[in-house]
Amino acid sequence: MADSFTAQDPAPGPERSRITKRASRARGRRLRVVAALTVVGGLTGTVTSSASFAADDGAPTSPKRQEAAFTSPFTGLPAEKNPVLAVKIDNHKDARPQTALEDADIVGVEKVEGGLGRLFAIYSSHYPESLGPVRSAREYNVEQMRMFQRPALAYSGARAGVVDKIKESPLYGVSHDDHPDAYERGGDHEPPHNLYGHPDKLLAKAQGASEADDIGFRFGAEPGGGTPTDGRTVDYGSSSVSFDWSSEEDRWLASFDGEPAKGTSGKLLGGKTVIIQKTDMPPDSSGETPYIETVGSGEATVLRDGKAFETKWQRKSATGDTTYTLSNGKRMPFDPGQVWLVYQER
């Protein structure tokens, strides 16, 4: 079934300065600098910088200690603390394979009009050179993306009312319409499934974008309980997404419409943790597109380590965290690595 929103998507169209300290012979004094950098604790990522500055009286200063390496709140892995880039990604059959989904911290799967699926990808730990294909935004994305506070949101086209909502929101909307220089047409796909964004150029348009911060995810060892499972499927009617446990790769491998999902790199797509979040999807203001409610509460199945864990999700406000809680009241720990978040209509 053709994507009824295709028309929304645009068609092609230091000098290192050297400072020389010249001490006067009359003063006969010289600054002596002895610096040592010691890296400690490889597993914890703690870096200690020990620098001794011996002045004229020979008294060293105290060592300077840097903070431990940043741990991504999106993956639970060591990372740089970077701005958040959210990108709407095409998942039409003619848009596959996608580029750089495997580089995302989080991959989301959403239901759109006609029972089709659309993706979003969250990048922060590191950025690929290019990503896509980029497609249109939806009304619910404004509230949904506020969980990342003020991220950059890259998209290509949307209804006029949706564009207005994005521009009126705290999000940094970086659309193809307004910033074509951050995108390019290319690859083997036909328009409109061939638009790719460049993260460096996209983020340059969103200088104040929020850095990665807590959104409610928790990471840690596998909890007790859980039901062994080979996989799960979420069916939107005209499209589906499945996840099959691979003990060999120690992760859940994704399939789109029954076919293994691959990137243009040839790598199989999938994550260490998969969240199937059940929520209401009433029509949005257009009456045609589902509005995925991400504020509220409900049931969620979390897949990790070949098991399914039944949890409750809750998000009290657009800027609030989404928590996933086990029946014993404890937070559900995810397996460190890429997370897939799939919205399922309840």
Here the CATH number for the domain that contains residue 256 is 3.50.90.10
Shared domain for 272 and 206, answered yes or no, is: yes
The C-alpha atoms of residue 146 and residue 172 are separated, in whole angstroms, by 11
Q: Is residue 21 part of a domain?
A: no
Shared domain for 51 and 170, answered yes or no, is: no
Shared domain for 49 and 111, answered yes or no, is: no
Q: Is residue 20 part of a domain?
A: no
pLDDT in tens, 71-126: 999 999 999 999 999 999 999 999 999 999 999 999 999 999 999 999 999 999 99
Task: Give the per-residue pLDDT at 265.
Answer: 95
64 closest CA partner among 79, 78, 53: 53
Domain hosting 55: range is 32-65
Shared domain for 60 and 82, answered yes or no, is: no
Shared domain for 50 and 160, answered yes or no, is: no
Asked whether the predicted pLDDT for residue 38 surpasses 70, the reply is no
Report how many domains make up the chain: 2
Shared domain for 178 and 216, answered yes or no, is: yes
Task: Give the per-residue pLDDT at 69.
Answer: 83
Shared domain for 88 and 144, answered yes or no, is: yes
Shared domain for 50 and 84, answered yes or no, is: no
Of 43, 65, 87, the last residue of a domain is 65
Q: Is residue 306 part of a domain?
A: yes
82: left (phi over 0), alpha (psi -120 to 50) or beta: beta
Asked whether the predicted pLDDT for residue 152 surpasses 90, the reply is yes
The C-alpha atoms of residue 20 and residue 23 are separated, in whole angstroms, by 9
Residue 42, C-beta contacts closer than 8 angstroms, at least 6 positions apart: none
Shared domain for 50 and 91, answered yes or no, is: no
Q: Is residue 232 part of a domain?
A: yes
pLDDT in tens, 14-29: 333 333 333 333 333 3
Q: Is residue 188 part of a domain?
A: yes
